[in-house]
Homo-oligomer: A and B are copies of this chain.
């Protein structure tokens, strides 16, 4: 069903149908009603491709996700869901591109095929070729996470450095003098993954400020690794009385390990972390943590992107979120042995 068919049945020209629908020129009430009746009867909707071709915009956002081979984390999933929902609220569709790097075919299609009006990138590295590429290409984009050179781009991110530092201060206030950071995996650190780096930095600085002993130990993003991690910590650094973590996926394993080793939380070991509320509340005892507002972040990313599409030349906006730490049951004063 195309616009010509509607026009024919309503006995008007195609342009009149178009104007009746868009309201960009006045159409008499009688004509408009006749057209609407025909449309309702046969269920017409403008062809998206034709409209995109003429208007030069697709009413579609591109969302670049990590390839499926790397199991998506819970947080990444949250971003996808919230971006899609926020876009739907603005009557925009979302096109997914599972791309690791710059030369992925699907990424290329998205960019050079002009399939999206704007793009949201996830899993940003400190040096990210995709960012460079998009910038050069002149396509509006927003990143969830930010690179080492954040000023020229729009992004939304969690302030891992500040949050980890706050955790350290909180623990130090409770009297802990020797604290470990349960970081994301060593691979992620190696490839320059922002959150892992910034957690490291925030940790190091806070530990220095307070004159504490700080141990940073990376850990792969899964439960089994979390279980090993706590064993190793106990063996190699028995003096540690508190840990801070940004590694959600390791939490179930961490919990199992603690139970198996008979380490009481928070009596023998305090834990303060950064995690989605869902993870923090699922931990036993419930985790004192800064709640990462996953759903809001996706919505913010869409919001910034829409602004950027409307005004591509405007100054880039950033959002660095540092949600407050929710005190739950996993932190307490040091307990002498």
Chain A contacts to B: CB under 8 angstroms: 43-50, 52-53, 58, 60, 63, 65, 67-69, 71-72, 77, 80-82, 84-85, 88, 91, 93-98, 104-106, 108-110, 112-115, 223-224, 252, 256, 259, 278, 281-282, 284, 295
**A96 with B94: CB separation less than 8 A:** yes
**A47 with B43: CB separation less than 8 A:** no
Q: Which are the 6 A-B pairs with shortest beta-carbon distances?
A: A45-B112, A49-B52, A68-B81, A68-B85, A48-B113, A49-B53
From known contacts A58-B49, A85-B68, A98-B88, infer whether A106 and B93 are also in contact, taking CB-CB under 8 Å.
yes
**A93 with B115: CB separation less than 8 A:** yes
Point out the residues of chain B lying under 8 angstroms from A49, CB to CB: 48-50, 52-53, 58, 114
Total copies of the chain: 2
What separation, in Å, do the CA atoms of A106 and B67 have in the docked complex? 25
**A105 with B93: CB separation less than 8 A:** no
Point out the residues of chain B lying under 8 angstroms from A282, CB to CB: 223-224, 252
From known contacts A60-B95, A282-B252, infer whether A68 and B48 are also in contact, taking CB-CB under 8 Å.
no
From known contacts A53-B47, A282-B223, infer whether A95 and B93 are also in contact, taking CB-CB under 8 Å.
yes
Q: List 23 A-B contacts (CB under 8 A).
A: A43-B112, A45-B109, A45-B112, A47-B114, A48-B49, A48-B52, A48-B58, A48-B109, A48-B113, A48-B115, A53-B53, A60-B95, A69-B85, A71-B81, A81-B98, A84-B98, A91-B109, A93-B96, A93-B115, A94-B95, A95-B96, A252-B282, A256-B284
**B46 with A113: CB separation less than 8 A:** yes
What separation, in Å, do the CA atoms of A94 and B93 have in the docked complex? 10
Point out the residues of chain B lying under 8 angstroms from A284, CB to CB: 256
Point out the residues of chain B lying under 8 angstroms from A94, CB to CB: 95-96
Point out the residues of chain B lying under 8 angstroms from A85, CB to CB: 67-69, 98
